[in-house]
Chains A and B, each alone.
Chain A
Amino acid sequence: MNPLKIVGVALITSLASTAAMADLVFPSLSYRTGAYGANGIPFADGYADYFTLVNERDGGIGGIPAKVIECETGYNTQKGVECYESTKGENPLVYQPLSTGITYQLIPKVTADGIPMHTMGYGRTSAKNGTVFSNVFNYPANYWDGASHAINHILSENGGDIKGKNVALVYHNSAYGKEPIRTLNELSAKHGFKLAEVPVDHPGQEQKSQWLQIRRTRPDYVLMWGWGVMNQVAIQEAVNIGYPMENFIGIWWSGSENDVIPAGAKANGYKALTFHAVGSDFPVFDDIQKHVVDAGKAAGAGDQVGTVLYNRGMYAAMLAVEAAKTAQGIHGTADINAAQMRDGMEALVMDAAKMESLGMAGFGPEFTVDCKNHGGPGLGAMQQWDAGAGEWKLISDFEPSDMEIIQPLIDEDSNAFAEESKIELQECA
């Protein structure tokens, strides 16, 4: 112990700020710096801008203004915890940590604190099991869905028969990257393709060995679970070895403009999964332009609007707002708390009419969430890079994943977790 600490304690106590209680608080654990900052910025901007739009255009959610508290995590779990602890006193409604590592960290904490967490397309896949993970939601799709979508796409390209085909998985050698392996193994047993695992260590600046290996073995398809610089280098290397881009499929975190642009024209045809639409051809973007960007209230420079990761951040915010509205409806009060928000998320219904009314017709899949299933039906689509036009194009509808394979895996993993952590299962009606 030392006196310094005491002084510090005194100093910072005086600094801890308090938010106005009246607002609906949505913390944004963003990362605009560090090795993954380039990907974190557009997402955080989209997330913030949509709340700004709701405040400016609609006067808030059910009349109460939404407040976004940004906290920089730098994709670092320690800072993530600090952010969580520093914001949880402000009555936050839902956390969106945008990092699989931080998600794992927060799952026990949010459950203990009764705050819901939405991990959209990342995090712990088996959190889909709502009976075990009462406060964690991962709709509309998760990694295992993604793995299945990718294989489904390959199946459809090959008339349903991929026996003997070689598929390589290039993945970020971390919790995130390893997520799809188990599913892919099951799928390979079912469909008879061969899976080769090709790990790439953080940060992934140098992937020559991996791509020489791919060049040598010539897999029919390459799947990628990458993030940050790994994506750019992988796509560049794929271009370099002349790998057919249309057989190269990334997960939704490997499919932003950032990832393909450095590789130039030859990245044309690269595919990536997604669970929302691309581009800015939706009425909601006109509203954003009018109420947010032109009003000088955009979180970023405004030039990211319509890019993949911006759209994803905006989509996440939209889902949060809709869940809040649902919660307000259920509990008959506009001033909801975290527990009520959780109920709203659990009863969330995203149908075509609702999206239409938001100016986002067809922007995401239609889905519903219920007590048992916190992940929705797991619909996903395929997008493809058009280098000439410099934009992504959706090339499929939102299609289901192979739940026959995935559901047992989810049950197994979530039950193991429940056992290990002695979790009381949530009663579902």
Chain B
Amino acid sequence: MFYRQAGDFKTTYRDDIQTFPLKQDRWGYYIVLAIAFLVVPFFINDYWTSAVMLPFLIYAIASLGLNILTGYCGQVSLGTGGFLAVGAYACYKIMTAFPDLNIFIVVLLSGVITAAVGMLFGIPSLRIKGFYLAVATLAAQFFLVWLFNKVPWFYNNSASGQISAPERSMFGFAVTGPNADAPVRYLFCLTFLVLLAWVARNLTRGRLGRSWMAIRDMDIAAEIIGVNPLKSKLSAFAVSSFFIGVAGALFFSVYLGAVEVGEAFGITQSFLVLFMIIIGGLGSIFGSFAGAAFLVLVPVLLKNIMVNWLGWPTDIAVHIEFMVVGGLIVLFLIAEPHGLAQLWRLAKDKFLLWPFPH
């Protein structure tokens, strides 16, 4: 009853182009933000942080990144795992080379380095399209993983090639390392996510975002009306890789604390993030969140139900988990190929009109 478009007139273009045109949506957004920043940190424990919240926040950042490239610019990439690895190893190298540098800046710099690498691997996209490009990005995936595994410089010549994040603090609170508390780690990642989501929103609503979508929808026409395909595609690769690089840096330093490249950043990561944006909704910021939440939560939920509640053997639970996740993906694609974001939109439209369906 109170969720209405009627009467909420916009008198300036500035009002018209804001992120949440509806007053109710805007308030909802502020409330969620307030809960996330002010309430959740007081209730969160290690399990919740490590098993649910951190993966969700970090994958949401990676999904935002991939969604910019794939959802907005139409360039399918399977190199996400490799770019996550670039972020992680850049973070490790900067952390150990400049121990006094603020961890926040370290993570941002890791993103910048990843953006540069991403642009390099984006160059073939100027000639290669569609599935051919998707498979070609696998070259980045495999090559980068091999490189980080092979060249000892990247892991400071440690005996096994593992990299471990030393302790770094912000405002006196440990953010990385074993002594970092759950709320601090959570808030650190949350800050990045909120900032980056805001940046993603800004980039996608202006000229750059439109040029990406134009390239996605019809690249030739876009070029003819004045969109520079080189700049658009490379900027999409750069922005996308920046996001993924930040995600990789957080993944390594805050979430896992120690990684081994082949295992943590393998091809499965690439597929996982791609799943997230497709289930969530291509070309939707909300979809990136929804997809990440879905694919982080569903396995944890299923596992808890089957193993902890029903007491099933763990292997059967995992097999069934695979079946359920696979089945759900197919089901979702059949029911709503445009993802959770579209379902959410439809639900909202229904609600806007309720109780008068027409």
> Do A and B touch (CB < 8 Å)?
yes
Q: Is B8's beta carbon under 8 Å from chain A? A: no
The answer to whether B164 touches A9, judged by C-beta atoms less than 8 angstroms apart, is no
The answer to whether B159 touches A126, judged by C-beta atoms less than 8 angstroms apart, is yes
Q: Tell me how far the C-beta of A123 lies from the nearest C-beta in chain B, rounded to whole angstroms.
A: 10
Q: Which of A4, A76, A179 contacts B159 (CB 8 A)?
A: A179
The residues of A that contact B47 with a CB separation of less than 8 Å are: 16, 85-86, 88-89
Interface residues as binary, A121-140 with B (CB distance below 8 Å gives 1, 0 otherwise)? 00011100000000000000
The answer to whether A32 touches B178, judged by C-beta atoms less than 8 angstroms apart, is no
Q: Is B259's beta carbon under 8 Å from chain A? A: yes
> 12 interchain pairs (CB within 8 A)?
A1-B29, A1-B33, A1-B36, A1-B289, A5-B297, A77-B259, A78-B256, A100-B160, A104-B258, A105-B257, A175-B260, A201-B146
By beta carbon, the residue of chain A nearest B269 is A78
Q: Which of B46, B297, B314 contacts A71 (CB 8 A)?
A: B314
15 additional contacts (CB under 8 A) given A1-B36, A32-B313, A85-B47: A1-B33, A1-B35, A2-B290, A8-B297, A11-B301, A16-B304, A16-B308, A71-B307, A86-B47, A104-B162, A105-B259, A174-B263, A175-B160, A181-B159, A182-B159
- Given A81-B50, A100-B160, A107-B258: A72 and B293 interface contact (C-beta under 8 Å): no
The answer to whether A202 touches B262, judged by C-beta atoms less than 8 angstroms apart, is yes
Q: Is B345's beta carbon under 8 Å from chain A? A: no
- The total of chain A residues at the interface (CB under 8 A) is 60
By beta carbon, the residue of chain B nearest A182 is B159
- Given A108-B164, A201-B146, A421-B166: A12 and B257 interface contact (C-beta under 8 Å): no
The answer to whether B290 touches A85, judged by C-beta atoms less than 8 angstroms apart, is no
Interface residues as binary, B145-177 with A (CB distance below 8 Å gives 1, 0 otherwise)? 010010000000011111010110000000001
The answer to whether B318 touches A32, judged by C-beta atoms less than 8 angstroms apart, is yes
The answer to whether B293 touches A5, judged by C-beta atoms less than 8 angstroms apart, is yes
Q: Tell me how far the C-beta of B226 lies from the nearest C-beta in chain A, rounded to whole angstroms.
A: 36
Cα distance, A8 to B52, chains bound together (Å): 10
The answer to whether B160 touches A179, judged by C-beta atoms less than 8 angstroms apart, is yes
Q: Which of A30, A108, A182 contacts B258 (CB 8 A)?
A: A108
The residues of B that contact A126 with a CB separation of less than 8 Å are: 159
The residues of B that contact A174 with a CB separation of less than 8 Å are: 149, 161, 260, 262-263
Q: Which of A2, A16, A17, A105 contacts B289 (CB 8 A)?
A: A2
The answer to whether A421 touches B51, judged by C-beta atoms less than 8 angstroms apart, is no
Q: Tell me how far the C-beta of A114 lies from the nearest C-beta in chain B, rounded to whole angstroms.
A: 11
Q: Which of B167, B263, B300, B319 contacts A76 (CB 8 A)?
A: B263
Q: Is A159's beta carbon under 8 Å from chain B? A: no
The residues of B that contact A111 with a CB separation of less than 8 Å are: 178
The answer to whether A12 touches B300, judged by C-beta atoms less than 8 angstroms apart, is yes
By beta carbon, the residue of chain A nearest B47 is A85
The answer to whether A85 touches B160, judged by C-beta atoms less than 8 angstroms apart, is no
Which residues on B are within 8 Å of A, measured CB to CB? Answer: 28-29, 32-33, 35-36, 40, 45-52, 55-56, 96, 146, 149, 158-162, 164, 166-167, 177-179, 190, 194, 255-260, 262-264, 266, 286, 289-290, 293-294, 297, 300-301, 303-305, 307-309, 313-315, 317-319, 322
The residues of B that contact A3 with a CB separation of less than 8 Å are: 28, 32
Q: Report the 4 A-B pairs with minimum CB-CB distance, sorted nearest first.
A: A32-B315, A108-B178, A112-B178, A175-B160
The residues of B that contact A71 with a CB separation of less than 8 Å are: 307, 314
Cα distance, A8 to B51, chains bound together (Å): 13
Q: Which of A70, A72, A81, A86 contacts B256 (CB 8 A)?
A: A81
Q: Which of B51, B146, B264, B286 contacts A86 (CB 8 A)?
A: B51
Q: Which of B32, B35, B46, B159 contacts A88 (CB 8 A)?
A: B46
Q: Tell me how far the C-beta of B176 lies from the nearest C-beta in chain A, rounded to whole angstroms.
A: 10
Which residues on A are within 8 Å of B, measured CB to CB? Answer: 1-6, 8-9, 11-12, 15-17, 30, 32-33, 37, 41, 70-72, 74-78, 81-82, 84-86, 88-89, 100-101, 104-105, 107-109, 111-112, 124-126, 173-176, 178-179, 181-182, 201-202, 413, 417, 420-422
The residues of A that contact B55 with a CB separation of less than 8 Å are: 78
- Given A8-B52, A30-B314, A421-B167: A105 and B263 interface contact (C-beta under 8 Å): no
Cα distance, A5 to B297, chains bound together (Å): 8
Which of A1, A2, A421 has the most CB atoms of chain B within a 10 A radius of its CB?
A: A1
Cα distance, A334 to B256, chains bound together (Å): 35
Cα distance, A85 to B161, chains bound together (Å): 25
Q: Tell me how far the C-beta of B65 lies from the nearest C-beta in chain A, rounded to whole angstroms.
A: 17
By beta carbon, the residue of chain B nearest A32 is B315
- Given A108-B257, A174-B260, A201-B146: A85 and B51 interface contact (C-beta under 8 Å): yes
- Given A8-B301, A86-B47, A100-B160: A173 and B149 interface contact (C-beta under 8 Å): yes
Which of A86, A107, A126 has the most CB atoms of chain B within a 10 A radius of its CB?
A: A86
What number of A-B contacts does a CB cutoff of 8 Å give? 172
By beta carbon, the residue of chain A nearest B44 is A9
The answer to whether B159 touches A15, judged by C-beta atoms less than 8 angstroms apart, is no
The residues of A that contact B256 with a CB separation of less than 8 Å are: 77-78, 81, 105
Q: Tell me how far the C-beta of B18 lies from the nearest C-beta in chain A, rounded to whole angstroms.
A: 18
By beta carbon, the residue of chain A nearest B197 is A1
- Given A8-B293, A82-B50, A173-B262: A2 and B286 interface contact (C-beta under 8 Å): yes
Cα distance, A175 to B56, chains bound together (Å): 27
Q: Which of A1, A16, A86, A420 contacts B194 (CB 8 A)?
A: A1
Cα distance, A5 to B166, chains bound together (Å): 30
The residues of B that contact A9 with a CB separation of less than 8 Å are: 40, 48, 52
The residues of B that contact A125 with a CB separation of less than 8 Å are: 159
The answer to whether A421 touches B304, judged by C-beta atoms less than 8 angstroms apart, is no
Cα distance, A9 to B52, chains bound together (Å): 9
The residues of A that contact B258 with a CB separation of less than 8 Å are: 77, 104-105, 107-108
By beta carbon, the residue of chain A nearest B163 is A104
The residues of B that contact A85 with a CB separation of less than 8 Å are: 46-47, 49-51
The answer to whether B178 touches A41, judged by C-beta atoms less than 8 angstroms apart, is no
The residues of A that contact B46 with a CB separation of less than 8 Å are: 85, 88
- Given A37-B315, A179-B159: A77 and B264 interface contact (C-beta under 8 Å): yes
The residues of A that contact B319 with a CB separation of less than 8 Å are: 33
By beta carbon, the residue of chain A nearest B29 is A1
Cα distance, A4 to B257, chains bound together (Å): 27
- Given A2-B289, A77-B264, A108-B177: A420 and B314 interface contact (C-beta under 8 Å): no
Cα distance, A182 to B308, chains bound together (Å): 43
The answer to whether A421 touches B96, judged by C-beta atoms less than 8 angstroms apart, is no
Q: Tell me how far the C-beta of B143 lies from the nearest C-beta in chain A, rounded to whole angstroms.
A: 12
- Given A82-B51, A421-B167: A15 and B161 interface contact (C-beta under 8 Å): no
Cα distance, A85 to B178, chains bound together (Å): 13
The answer to whether B304 touches A6, judged by C-beta atoms less than 8 angstroms apart, is no
The residues of A that contact B146 with a CB separation of less than 8 Å are: 201
Cα distance, A12 to B45, chains bound together (Å): 13
The residues of A that contact B36 with a CB separation of less than 8 Å are: 1
Which of A4, A11, A173 has the most CB atoms of chain B within a 10 A radius of its CB?
A: A4
Cα distance, A94 to B237, chains bound together (Å): 45
The residues of B that contact A12 with a CB separation of less than 8 Å are: 52, 297, 300-301, 304
